[in-house]
Structure formats: C-alpha cells, structure tokens
C-alpha cells in the first residue's frame, strides 16, 4: 500500500511538472480554438433565435410550451451575446497569452458553456425529462478547451452542483428528478474523464514536439559546426586550403566578368622551426594564432585570409592591383614584426617573408598560375634575406 501511495505521489509530481511545461502552449491553443469555434456557436445560436422567434410569433401553443420556447429563446439570445463577446476578446487577445485575460478567457468560455447547457436542460424539464444536452455539453466543453485536470475537476464539480439544483426547480417528478441527477453525475464524470485524457494527450504530444524541435535544432547546430570545421583551420580559425582555393577560383571568375584585378599574398614565417625547438610546439601554436589575428586586423573586410598548413598563410585581395597588394603586404610585414607573441612572460618576435602575385581580367590566369608566381616571389624573398616583400 505504501509503495502504491509513493508511486501515485511520484506520478502526480511528474504530471504537475509536465503540465507546467505545456501551460503556455495550451493557453495559446485555447485562444486560437476560441477564435475559430466561438463564431460557430454564435451562428448556431442565431439559427435557434430565428427559429424560436418565428415559432413564438406564428404558432399558438399552450402556456407551458410558450413559456418553454420563450425561455429557450432568451437563453440562446444570452448565449449568442456572451459568446459574441468571447469571440471579439479571443481575436483581440489571441497573442496576449501571458496576460490575465489571455489565461482566463478559455476557462470563462468553458464555464459559460456549462451554464448555458444547464439552462437548456433545466427549461427542457417543463416538456421533457431528457438531459442529453447536458451530456453533449460536457463532452463539447472537454473537446473545445484544454483544461488542467484539477481545474477541469473544479469546473465539473461546480457544473454538477448547479445542474443538481437547477433541474430541481423545473422537474416535479421525484423519481425522474433522481434519475436525471444520477445520469447527470455520470455525464459530468464522463466529461471530466475525457478532459483529462485529452489534456494528457496534448501534454505528451506537445512535449514530444518540443523534444523533436530541440533535437532538430541541436542537429542543425552540429551540422553547421561540422561545416565550419571542414571549411576552417582548427588552430587559427582561418580558411583551410581547400576552402581558400574554392573561394579564390570563384573570385577570379567574378573578376574576369567585371574586368578587375586580383592579387594574392603568400606568407611564410621566418625560422619558425627555432620557435618550436626553443619554446616547444604550444608556443609555436601561439605564434600561428597571433599571425592569424594580426593578418585579419590588417587586411580589409573584403579580403580572405587562409592557412595553407604549417607556417604558411595566404591572403586573397579582390579588386587589388599588384602595387596596392605590395603596399598592403609591406604594412602586414611591419605589423607582424612589431606584434610579438607573449609566451610565458617572454615576447617571441616573429618575422615573415611575403610573395606577391597579381593578375588582370584580360590575362585570365587561374589560381594555380597565380599561386605559382606568388610561390616564386616568396622563394625569392627567402633567398634575399627574409623579412621582406617580393
């Protein structure tokens, strides 16, 4: 018995947590449903108002039947007015889910639905012992509005108490009154059970949808990260060789169409092996990262910086002549020389040799040709003593 009670408490705690998670979605769905369904309720009421009004004007009935039709006519009129206001409120506050009115409108609609259905059943007792409208109304409210089980229970209890009292005013047959009250209890119990079932179904579906959406977002993020890793150098964050070559070929094709010049800078750190041998490979990695930072801060926003591998870097300069590329390369060389890498309280000064190559649109040179010329220039810079631009 103790184990059963513990399991019930555990399940109740779990449900309460899940219900809190979907409460916002339920309010949003309820407001959307109200905006769509309440106009239909008003239309149905209008049909009955016209029909009952015609009956009252055109037919001569007994006093009891006339009284019954008039009561139904007024009830439909009040219901049409009430749900007409709810229709306007639902449309006006459809997106104000967090407001008190946005939270309270669905509950108000459920309560009004129960009240008017009880009114119909109560007046029907004058001419018929039937309480089918109460059963149908309880089911309709459960289908139309998502209510938490506890809230739905309170609405059901209040509804049955009003039903129990109201039909006692118009049903004078004691046996029929008892039967109706018993059947009414069964009807409200069925309505509450259906409400709980639909709420749990909504909760499970909503949570599963959120889990799928979160999983999809996570998958997309991982896919983007994978794409980033395949396009960028893992150490410096610069474009890797394959990506840089691809982007350069695209730029050369664009430059040929528009008739502009394109230049590249090929950089190689001087005596980089000494850094690794003296301070270790982590220090060498720090130097490479520093080169990437200085290069990115020196070039223009339209320029592309890549790492070919090891201590070699490459920069694409769109719409840039050979002389403009040489000036930028000289500026970059000077910036790197006066931007040492801080490593364990030591400043590691690095210099770089740069080879510059350029092509015009009329020459129609491809990347391999441009790279070959830049590599030749870089080799010349090395031979001439390093730390220079050729």
Distance CA 148, CA 114 (A): 17
Q: What pLDDT score was predicted for residue 234?
A: 82
Which of 324, 312, 335, 353 has the alpha carbon at shortest distance from 263?
Answer: 324
Handedness of CA 319, 324, 328, 330 (dihedral sign): positive
Q: Read off the pTM.
A: 0.62
Distance CA 302, CA 316 (A): 9
248-253's contacts with Cβ under 8 Å and 24+ in sequence apart are 248/304, 248/316, 248/367, 248/370, 249/366, 249/367, 251/304, 251/316, 251/318, 252/359, 252/365, 252/366, 252/367, 252/370
Instruction: Name the token pair of 354.
Output: 């740069």
Is the CB of residue 369 less than 8 Å from the CB of residue 359? yes
311 is catalytic: yes
Write down all domains in the chain, each with its CATH number in brackets: 2-217 (no CATH), 241-383 (3.30.70.270)
Q: What pLDDT score was predicted for residue 253?
A: 86
Q: What pLDDT score was predicted for residue 99?
A: 67
Instruction: Name the token pair of 284.
Output: 């060498």
Distance CA 291, CA 288 (A): 5
Q: What pLDDT score was predicted for residue 32?
A: 86
**346 CB-side CA count, 13 A:** 13
* Block residue for tokens 């474009």: 239
Residue among 251, 311, 312, 344 flagged as catalytic: 311
Residue 309 φ then ψ, to 5°: 135, 155
Is the CB of residue 270 less than 8 Å from the CB of residue 352? yes
Going by C-beta distance under 8 Å and a sequence separation of 6 or more, which residues neighbour residue 48? 72, 73, 76
- Note the pLDDT tens digit of each residue in 107-129: 888 999 999 999 999 999 999 89
Q: What pLDDT score was predicted for residue 97?
A: 58
Write the DSSP symbol of residue 240.
Answer: -
pLDDT under 70: residue ranges of the chain: 1-2, 7, 93-102, 225-229
Which of 66, 89, 151, 87 has the alpha carbon at shortest distance from 114?
Answer: 151
* Block residue for tokens 């809230």: 151
Give the other-Cβ count within 10 Å of 12's Cβ.
11
């Amino acid at each position: 018995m103790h184990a059963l009670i513990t399991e019930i408490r555990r399940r109740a705690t779990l449900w309460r947590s899940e219900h809190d998670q979907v409460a916002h979605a339920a309010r949003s769905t309820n407001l959307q449903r109200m905006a769509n369904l309440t106009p239909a309720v008003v239309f149905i009421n209008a049909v009955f108002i016209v029909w009952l009004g015609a009956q009252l004007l055109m037919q001569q009935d007994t006093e009891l039947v006339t009284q019954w039709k008039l009561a139904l006519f007024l009830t439909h009129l009040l219901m049409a007015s009430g749900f007409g206001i709810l229709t306007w409120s639902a449309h006006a506050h459809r997106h104000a889910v967090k407001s008190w009115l946005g939270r309270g409108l669905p509950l108000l609609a459920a309560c009004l639905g129960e009240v008017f259905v009880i009114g119909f059943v109560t007046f029907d007792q004058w001419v018929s012992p039937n309480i089918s409208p109460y059963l149908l109304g309880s089911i309709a409210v459960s289908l139309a509005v998502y209510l938490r089980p506890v809230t739905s229970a309170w609405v059901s209890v209040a509804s049955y108490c009003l039903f129990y009292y109201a039909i006692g005013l118009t049903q004078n047959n004691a046996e029929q009154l008892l039967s109706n009250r018993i059947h009414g209890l069964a009807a409200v119990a069925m309505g509450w059970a259906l409400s709980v079932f639909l709420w749990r179904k909504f909760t499970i579906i909503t949570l599963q949808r959120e889990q799928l959406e979160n999983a999809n977002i996570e998958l997309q993020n991982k896919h983007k990260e994978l794409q980033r890793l395949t396009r960028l150098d893992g150490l410096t964050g610069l474009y890797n060789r394959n990506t840089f070559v691809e982007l350069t070929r695209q730029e050369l094709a664009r430059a040929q169409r528009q008739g502009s010049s394109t230049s590249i800078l090929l950089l190689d750190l001087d005596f980089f092996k000494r850094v690794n041998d003296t301070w270790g490979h982590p220090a060498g990695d720090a130097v490479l990262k520093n080169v990437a930072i200085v290069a990115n801060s020196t070039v223009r926003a339209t320029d592309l910086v890549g790492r070919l591998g090891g201590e070699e870097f490459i920069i694409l300069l769109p719409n840039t002549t050979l002389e403009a590329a040489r000036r930028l390369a000289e500026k970059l060389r000077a910036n790197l020389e006066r931007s040492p890498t801080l490593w364990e309280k030591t400043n590691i000064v690095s210099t770089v040799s740069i080879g510059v190559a350029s092509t015009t649109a009329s020459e129609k040179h491809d990347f391999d040709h441009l790279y070959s010329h830049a590599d030749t220039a870089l080799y010349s810079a090395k031979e001439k003593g390093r730390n220079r631009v050729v």
